[in-house]
Amino acid sequence: MHIDKAKKRIAKQVKKGFKGYPQITLEYFGASADCATEVAIRFTQELGAAEQEQRFASQADVREDEVIQSALVKIIERADASSVMEIEGVSPL
CA 43 – CA 25 distance, rounded (Å): 7
pLDDT per residue as tens digits for the range 12-64: 999 999 999 999 999 999 998 899 999 999 999 999 999 999 999 999 999 99
Domain chopping of the chain, boundaries: 3-92
CA 36 – CA 93 distance, rounded (Å): 9
Domain 3-92 has CATH 3.30.720: yes
Cα Rg of the chain, angstroms: 13
From 70, 47, 44, select the one nearest 56 (Cα to Cα). 70
Q: What is the mean pLDDT of residues 74-80?
A: 95
pTM of the entire structure?
A: 0.90
